[in-house]
Chains A and B, each alone.
Chain A
Amino acid sequence: MKKPIQRDLFPGALEMMILRILKRQPMHGYALVQHIKRTSQDLLQIEEGSLYPALQRLLKAEFVKAEWGVSSTNRRVRIYKLSAAGAKHLEREVSSFERMLEGITRVLAPEES
């Protein structure tokens, strides 16, 4: 079993991931957590609860919309959807993240001699 790395995410990372996932399909909070855990193969250690403040922030910024629906277990649950503004925001965030990543990668790469 891989040992999870104990490291905080940088600010905005969680939101970015949420938006990315929601872009593919609308989802409720619990499913989001499970999805992140599964796809990151437990490499990212996030406190499950911390998802909810992030979702509230996204709601306030109107990057996501929420609707009450019914879960697969047949319970009332809030389902989040990406809004148009959210999609645009995601694009910006991803491209700036990629630039940052590239920058970091270049610095970290062994010097060419």
Chain B
Amino acid sequence: MNWLKQLFLRRRLYDDLDEEIAFHLEERIEELVAGGMSLKEATAAARREFGNVESIRETAREAWGWRWLEDFSGDLRFGLRMLRKNPGFTVISVLTLAFGIGANAAVFSVVNSVLLKPLNYPKAGELVALHQTAPGAEGLAEFENGLLLSPSMYFTYSEHNRTFQSLGVWITGTANVTGLAEPEQVRTVAVSDGVFETLGVPPAVGRWLSQADQVPNGPQSVMLSYGYWQRRFGGDRAVIGRNIIVDSLPREIVGVMPKGFRFVDSDFDLTAPLAFDRDKLILAGFGFHGIGRLKPRATIAEANADLARMLPIWMDSWSNGPGSNPHIYETWRITPMIRPLKQELIGNVGELLWVVMVTIGVVMLIACANVTNLLLVRVEVRQQELAVRAALGAGWTRIVRTLLVESAMLGLIGGVVGVGLAYSGVHFLVAIGPSNLPRLNEIAIDARTLGFTFVLSVLSGLLFGLIPALKYAGPRGRSALQSAGRTVSASLERHRARNLLVVGQVAMALVLLMSAGLMIRTFGALRKVDPGFTDPQHLQVMRISIPDSLIAEPERVTRIQNEILDKLSAIQGVKSVGFASAMPMEGVDSDWDEIFAQDKVYSGDLIAPLRLYKNISPGFLQAAGTRLVAGREMTWDEVYALRPVVMVSENLARELWGTPSAAVGKHLREFSNMPWHEVVGVIQDVPEKGLQEKAPEIVYWAPLVQNRFAPTARTATFVIRSGRAGTESFLNEVRAAVWSVNSELPLASVRTMQEVYDKSVARTSFTLVMLGIAGGMALVLGTIGIYGVMSYTVSQRKREIGIRLALGAQGGDVLQMVLRQGTKLALVGVAIGIGAALGLTRLMANLLYGVTAHDPLTFVAVAALLILVALLACYIPARRATLVDPMVALRYE
């Protein structure tokens, strides 16, 4: 601390020293005068004896070790003065840098929050997702999550593993809560024992769901999320021990999880125990997400081997019922592929974010190039000043340092303004970011982002400061004293740095515009994909779930659904109605089934390929606007009569029977003991998982079928086609209509199909907007760069142009000359840019759809655009060149 005090007091220390020295000299002079010398002689003698006052003062000050600081603060003061003296230059540079740094800081804060920061669980590095694949199970490749775990698998893994501290399974769902206010559909997560222990986040109030809660038909307990607790109970701690009605059953609230807690990526309102009945479990039922916490020194490879070791135990311990062969799963070739939980959570967003980060980084480089150009011009103007300093004895390193301090300061000021911009930038990013962006709620500007911004500011300051500094203050810079004062025509060498910068800018701008162009093409291609429904703005959708605790009998469920449809279609302005177990792109987990065609042979133990299946109501196709390719729809009479009829998608019809029309009249079934169903209709292919994904093969069952596992679709998406879709008055009437049938049915996910559609292309539109912004910035900055360099070149060549004009050159010749020079630079830049883009756009291949990373149209269009803009940027200075008055230009001599 002492040195700090001394530092602040150094001004006084220096004054003391000066006073002391003055005293010494005066005292000596007095003495000498008293000894008989004249005052003049005495003064000279005293000074001679004392030595060089200035140098001694310097040495004495150095004793305190602040020399570097003195120099540095001198540089700072000087730099600030220089920046103040050139407000135009300063404002333009600071703004350019601020936008570059701000954009980078904003994107970095997203990258940091989503990709870099560890998950919000204690010792999150030990957490893994129990991911597994099954290449031998056809159709399974389309599971987004690979092969999920079955309950029996969970028991085997949990009881026999050697590499996990704990593990568990969980599944998301919905439930109806009644008795609090209006009936409400809430998001639920059902967990097995081990999930809370694995995640390790203690409850905010009360306790976790315990092993005792997992007993089948045992205590009916439930935990609340923090948000639900606040919303429904106002954060009342006395809520513990109270009951709430979930799916018509009372459950006791035992605890509340803390704010921000999520099950991996799932927000929830309630979490309840799965309470598997161990004795009734079979091998199948692969619907549960597994998570585990590895033992401290266990690796993922060891854990994979551990799971693989347990698969035979699993097959030996359970069966799929009498007569079935438990080892048929060997043909599935189940392979554990455990992933770090963070990777599971981030998914493919990492790639997208890195592409955006790199893009924004390139924008920063272009911004730096612009500022470098400005600095080059300025340093050139200051050459004489620098030469004088060098002549007065400043070492060239000292001069370089002065210049670097100045540019680093510029970078820092830009950084400070940039952080301000970044705050609004982050709001913007969160607002336009795909809503399924993982960890969206965690995005914030934190210390690491600020650190990044600081380093970026200083580094960019040094980067753009170094080039002019070395170029003009370097050892060679000394000759400047002789030449700088004269109006010499610019030498080639003096322009090389600037030209290189322009070429670089054009090349980088081209790469960015190219990627933006490819995204535009992708978006265009996506818009052309038939989503399987029409006019989505006028398609109201909502999900209604009828739990079996409310209505047990399957046919009653269908009748209620049918009744709701009737009430809905009676609303004024409704054209048609229907329901399906899920709408395309809704993000609802799909149902899968083994499907056997009657006229195909399935050998022995072979399991038929899994197919996605949906239940649809009569009238659904018309309401949604989905095309019927062949045959006819099912009727309500057939539904209630349990007539074995079914519909299939066009691609499934082609795969099984060649053509859609050939499929009509053929038969298929799910399991060997189920009745054969007649295919009565073929439906167009629908990109169920999103526009970019291949449309899956789908089997469409009636809402009520002979199936002991899923006889009816208890949760269904109702679709209403109406011009009034989305309006408040319409929704009120819709709610009233539903509740007139049963007042305990909540409406969930109420939205128009347009919202569903927009959400499913959110990732693409986000990328498009981001790359568009980056490309736009690059284009503007690049144009300014070219314009600046050409203007400066013209102003430097005024004399030469004057001579040319005086010697008889026409305005047109001069115009051409300048344009040619500018175009040459642009062309070189475009050529380099195309080369770079060929390599770089491949990195974003996964973000593209319907267009290759080397799309010639985009390449040609972007190159043409850039050349055109470059010509425009050169044209203005070129025009000015033709207006040079030869007399004025020559008079400068």
Contact = CB atoms under 8 A, between A and B. Distances in A.
B21 A52 contact: yes
Contact of B51 (A50, A55, A57): A50
Interface string A34-56: 00000000000001111011011
Contacts of A50: 51, 56, 59
B63 A60 contact: yes
Interface string A52-69: 110111011000001000
Given A49-B56, A73-B27, A73-B30, A56 B51 contact: no
A96 interface: no
Contacts of B30: 73
A49 to B, nearest CB: 4
18 contacts: A30-B23, A48-B49, A48-B50, A48-B51, A49-B21, A49-B50, A49-B52, A49-B53, A53-B63, A56-B17, A56-B61, A56-B63, A56-B64, A60-B6, A60-B65, A75-B27, A76-B19, A76-B23
Contacts of B63: 53, 56-57, 59-60
A29 interface: yes
B20 interface: yes
Nearest to B58: A53
Interface string B51-87: 1110011011111110000000000000000000000
Q: Name, among A49, A57, A59, A76, the residue most crowded by chain B CB atoms within 10 Å (CB to CB).
A: A49
Interface of B: 6, 16-17, 19-21, 23-24, 26-28, 30, 49-53, 56-57, 59-65
Contacts of B59: 50, 53
A48 B62 contact: no
A42 to B, nearest CB: 12
A29 B20 CA distance: 8
Nearest to A66: B16
A94 interface: no
A48 B60 contact: no
A70 B49 CA distance: 24
A47 B50 contact: yes
B17 A48 contact: no
A77 interface: yes
Contacts of B28: 30, 48
Contact of B24 (A30, A60, A66, A76): A30
Closest 4 CB pairs of A and B: A56-B63, A49-B51, A49-B56, A47-B51
Nearest to B65: A60
Report the contact-size class of chain A (Cβ under 8 Å from the partner): 20 to 34
Nearest to B55: A49
Given A47-B50, A47-B51, A60-B63, A53 B56 contact: yes
A77 B20 contact: yes
A52 B57 CA distance: 8
A78 interface: yes
Given A29-B24, A48-B50, 18 more contacts: A47-B50, A47-B56, A48-B28, A49-B21, A49-B51, A50-B56, A50-B59, A52-B21, A55-B60, A56-B61, A56-B63, A57-B63, A60-B6, A60-B64, A73-B30, A75-B23, A77-B20, A77-B23
A56 B14 CA distance: 10
Given A53-B59, A53-B63, A56-B64, A71 B20 contact: no
B713 to A, nearest CB: 86
Contact of A78 (B20, B50, B53): B20
A53 B20 contact: no
B867 to A, nearest CB: 66
B23 A53 contact: no
A16 interface: no
Contacts of A47: 49-51, 56
B56 A71 contact: no
Contacts of B23: 28-30, 71, 75-77
A31 to B, nearest CB: 9
Nearest to B59: A53
A73 B81 CA distance: 46
A22 to B, nearest CB: 15
Contacts of B49: 47-48
A33 interface: yes
A63 to B, nearest CB: 12
B891 to A, nearest CB: 56
Nearest to A62: B2
B27 A52 contact: no
Interface in A62-99: 66, 71, 73, 75-78
Contacts of A71: 23, 27
B32 to A, nearest CB: 12
Contacts of A28: 20, 23
B69 to A, nearest CB: 15
A53 B50 contact: no
Interface in A4-44: 28-30, 33
B16 A78 contact: yes
A33 B57 CA distance: 17
B767 to A, nearest CB: 61
B62 to A, nearest CB: 7
A30 B22 CA distance: 10
B60 A52 contact: yes
Contacts of A56: 17, 60-61, 63-64
B51 A53 contact: no
B415 to A, nearest CB: 36
A75 B27 CA distance: 10
Contacts of B16: 66, 78
A75 to B, nearest CB: 6
Nearest to A47: B51
Nearest to A77: B23
A59 B16 CA distance: 12
A85 to B, nearest CB: 13
A73 B683 CA distance: 115
A53 B24 contact: no
Nearest to A32: B24
A23 to B, nearest CB: 21
Nearest to B49: A48
A76 B15 CA distance: 13
Contacts of B19: 76, 78
Nearest to B28: A30
A4 B774 CA distance: 78
A13 to B, nearest CB: 16
Contacts of A78: 16, 19-20
Contacts of B27: 30, 71, 73, 75
A55 B63 CA distance: 9
Contact of A52 (B6, B20, B64): B20
Contacts of A76: 19, 23
A50 B51 CA distance: 8
Q: Name, among A33, A53, A55, A76, the residue most crowded by chain B CB atoms within 10 Å (CB to CB).
A: A53
Q: Name, among B16, B27, B62, B64, the residue most crowded by chain A CB atoms within 10 Å (CB to CB).
A: B27
A55 B24 CA distance: 14
A75 B26 CA distance: 11
A113 to B, nearest CB: 48
A14 to B, nearest CB: 12
B798 to A, nearest CB: 55
Contacts of A60: 6, 63-65
A47 to B, nearest CB: 4
Contacts of A57: 63
A52 B60 CA distance: 6
Given A47-B51, A48-B51, A73-B30, A53 B21 contact: no
A101 B62 CA distance: 30
Contacts of A48: 24, 28, 49-51
Contacts of A59: 63
A71 B23 CA distance: 10
Contact of B60 (A30, A53, A75): A53
